[in-house]
Amino acid sequence: MNTIQSEQNIFTRFYTILKLIKFSHTIFSLPFAVMSAFIAADGLPGTRQLLLILGALVMARSCAMTFNRLVDARYDIHNPRTSYRIQLQGMIGKTNLWFFTISCSLLFVVFAGMLNLLCLFISPLALLIIFGYSYTKRFTNLSHIVLGLSLALSPIGAWIGITGEITIAPFILALAVLLWTAGFDIIYACQDLQHDIKTGLHSIPSKIGIKNSLILSSILHFLMVIVLFIFMYFTKLHFVYFGGVCFVGLMLIYEHSLIKPHDLSKISLAFFTVNGIISMILMAVTLVDILIFC
């Protein structure tokens, strides 16, 4: 009976960790890593390589998110939107969260090393960036850009994982991811405007207001679409991908139509649902394009 209870406790804690770090949000970065891997392989990548890339991505995001929850606890507890995180942390235990963070970090480095030496050498830099993001709101309004950079590492890492080389193509795709992420994170941050001002945290909305922030977000997303079209020049992608980028543009227009300076009630729909569709559809059309024309 004690063994069964122990196993149930472990499962409950693990499920709670996944809920705490919003594991479902992996949908934002994972598709771009898969896209990059297929493009770099000029077709279907090796199963071992693909699994290691996905494993490294999941470990990197997981350790970054648990680290964020740990170091931001004193802010989260005063924010109505994030106060539930403190309750979840209590259910898991701070020691267990640190163990999870360290374990995921080590596994990320191991998976990177199993891909190739270049991935191993740059893995500490990746950890420095994704951990560093958690502190940026304390001193800069550009934390949204740093979050974008953190997600933008996924296509770069996947490309290097396949080829073992650094070329310009994955950095173009990474720029698109950065612009996209920064744009939707600015939208998401609008709902924390009053909390950020009260606690002295920095963000674009607290600096320039909600209306100007939404304008800036739309500009970043427009630039993202332009960069995605430019990406075709550095790859062998064709009209299927082109159509996918057009669809992304339409979805971004829809996303911005949902959010008004005086009405933020549809932020969840705009943030998770629409952007999740964008990343998955873009990945799907890219893979179809590659597999048709490779």
Nearest to 230 by CA among 160, 285, 281, 175: 175
Q: Determine the Cα–Cα distance for residues 230 and 94; give it in Å rounded to an integer.
A: 45
Q: What's the confidence (pLDDT) of residue 5?
A: 52
Q: What's the confidence (pLDDT) of residue 3?
A: 56
Domain boundaries, the chain: 2-293
Residues 6+ apart with CB under 8 A from 16: 88, 91, 92
Q: What's the confidence (pLDDT) of residue 181?
A: 97
Q: What's the confidence (pLDDT) of residue 2?
A: 53
The fraction of the chain above a pLDDT of 90, given in percent, is 85
Q: What's the confidence (pLDDT) of residue 261?
A: 93
Task: Average the pLDDT over 180-189 and give the result.
Answer: 97
Q: Determine the Cα–Cα distance for residues 138 and 200; give it in Å rounded to an integer.
A: 8
Evaluate if residue 7 carries a pLDDT over 60: no
pLDDT in tens, 20-63: 988 888 889 999 999 999 999 999 999 999 999 999 999 999 99
Give me 8's structure tokens. Answer: 């149930």
Task: Average the pLDDT over 113-142 and give the result.
Answer: 97
Contact between 286 and 39 (Cβ < 8 Å) = yes
Task: Average the pLDDT over 123-137 and give the result.
Answer: 97
Q: What's the confidence (pLDDT) of residue 262?
A: 93
Q: Determine the Cα–Cα distance for residues 287 and 294; give it in Å rounded to an integer.
A: 10
Q: What's the confidence (pLDDT) of residue 70?
A: 95
Task: Average the pLDDT over 248-262 and give the result.
Answer: 96
The dihedral sign for the CA sequence 138, 139, 144, 146: negative
Q: Determine the Cα–Cα distance for residues 291 and 294; give it in Å rounded to an integer.
A: 5
pLDDT in tens, 65-93: 999 999 999 999 999 899 999 999 989 99
Residue for token pair 């989260």:
76
Residues forming a β-bridge with 263: 260
Q: 112 versus 270: which is more confidently predicted? A: 112
Q: What's the confidence (pLDDT) of residue 164?
A: 96
Half-sphere exposure of 136 (CA within 13 A, CB side): 20
Task: Average the pLDDT over 121-125 and give the result.
Answer: 97
What is the CATH code for 2-293? 1.10.357.140
Average per-residue pLDDT in the chain?
94
Contact between 173 and 36 (Cβ < 8 Å) = yes
